[in-house]
Amino acid sequence: MSAPAQEAIATPEPTEAAGAAAAGFQSSAASAAQPQPQHEDEEAQVQGAGSYLFLLLTVLTVVLVGIAYGNYKLMPYIYQKDAVADIARTLHEGQNFALYDLNFDIRGVRNEQIRLMMRTPEVMISGASHWQEAHAGLMPGVDFFNAHVHRDYYHDPMALVELLVRHGRLPNTLVISVRDATFTAPADRSDNLWVPWTAESRSMEERLGLPDRPWIDDFVLQTVLDRFSLLGLLSTVHMQLKSEEVPGPTTAESSPRMDIFMADGSIRWSEEHLAMFTPQYVRERALEHAQQSMAHPPGINVAAVDAFRQTLELLRDRGVAVVLAHPPFNPTYYDAIAGSAYETRLAEVEALTRKLAEVTGASVVGSFDPHRVGCTADMYIDSEHSQPECLQKLLAQVSVSHSVSLRREQHSAQF
């Protein structure tokens, strides 16, 4: 074949279709030579961010689960029911129980203690930690049991009474503490220590025929968050590392570093804690608390007052002598709030207590005013928690009732 023919085959004359194909090829080649479209870069960035977020969430979940597990294992007396029940069984057997501090599920302990009770006490205390140092020796010759819990509200005596009725352990005399915040509604409470007794208090509400409350009333987010508290975990680790002792049964009534939970329901501070309660420390805490609370009095919820009244009426109808007690404040604190909205609210709570006593047949002892009770500043460890010397003055006003026939008759009729 001649050279011109070869040349003709290699480079044919372009037709219209061939020209269009050539143009398309050149366009594709030009596009391929240009950078990738912007949306592909954005997709890649989104995928990268998604992978990073997934990794971050995975790490965060592992960390939170680890913290929760650490709190569960290192704080068994808060989160493990069997460990809480062990405290109650130890106390039931007449021994005391040593703890790093008083941060434990005291309501869970009370549940088991009342279930295990073999006899009904003559006098029982229902109240907050104001009563924590009230030991049986303050009422000699009386079968006495201190059923105090931490930070009580009106639901707490209701829950306690429910347990006592359920197990047939209503005492002859029940001393029920009425503190400044007793009638605070659940939504307005600043702590979550009351949550473990919600089932029992609701059982009492049902027993009394009270209107149903939304279950959300008893949900406190802090209860969930506490399980994932890194600060709480680190504090527990530090406390356990520095202590040469470990929690458990003991016959001792004092310890260098351990607080003692006594078989009669009261507590004994560790030597370390006692050394901390100096006059200067107590005065500073009292004044600090006064400054914080002066303009923020607790509320008085109408439904709370009515539920409390009906609980008192149930006790009256079952032959229980009820004593309503006002725990006195530290004189330093009480004098500092003079003339404030808080002092006004305290007077209103006392007046309400007297009215409740009048309509339910209960008696009233004590006062928020320590000068009326005879308690002095050296009898306190802070603004409101008094030592046995002050509590004895309060219990001296309690007249022990021995009229149990009506209670026994009604208990037999119920069961």
Q: Which domain holds residue 373?
A: 109-224+258-414
pLDDT at residue number 415: 33
Distance CA 332, CA 337 (A): 9
pLDDT at residue number 171: 96
pLDDT at residue number 84: 97
Residue 6 lies in a domain: no
What does the DSSP 8-state code read for residue 178? -
pLDDT at residue number 364: 96
Work out the angle between the directed axes of helices 198-208 and 155-166 (0-180°, nearest 10).
80
- The structure's pTM equals 0.83
DSSP secondary structure string for all residues of 303-368: HHHHHHHHHHHHHHHTTPEEEEEEPPPPHHHHHHTTTSHHHHHHHHHHHHHHHHHHHHT-EEEE-S
Residue 124 lies in a domain: yes
Spell out the residues 6+ positions from residue 402 whose beta carbon is closer than 8 angstroms to its own: 122, 172
Residue 238 lies in a domain: no
Distance CA 154, CA 136 (A): 25
Residue 311 lies in a domain: yes
- Helices of type H across 169-267: 198-208, 221-227, 230-242
CATH code of the domain covering residue 307: 3.40.50.1110
Residue 97 lies in a domain: no
CA distances from 249 to 80, 90, 95, 261 (A): 17, 6, 6, 9
Question: How long, in residues, is the chain?
Answer: 415
pLDDT at residue number 35: 53
Residue 198 lies in a domain: yes
- State which residues of the chain have pLDDT below 70: 1-40, 42, 44, 46, 401-415
Distance CA 407, CA 164 (A): 12
Residue 367 lies in a domain: yes
pLDDT at residue number 51: 83
Distance CA 353, CA 364 (A): 8
Give SS3 for 126.
strand
pLDDT at residue number 265: 95
pLDDT at residue number 46: 66
Count of domains for the chain: 1
Distance CA 208, CA 318 (A): 13
Residue 253 lies in a domain: no
Work out the angle between the directed axes of helices 302-317 and 198-208 (0-180°, nearest 10).
70
Contact 301, 155 (CB under 8 A): no
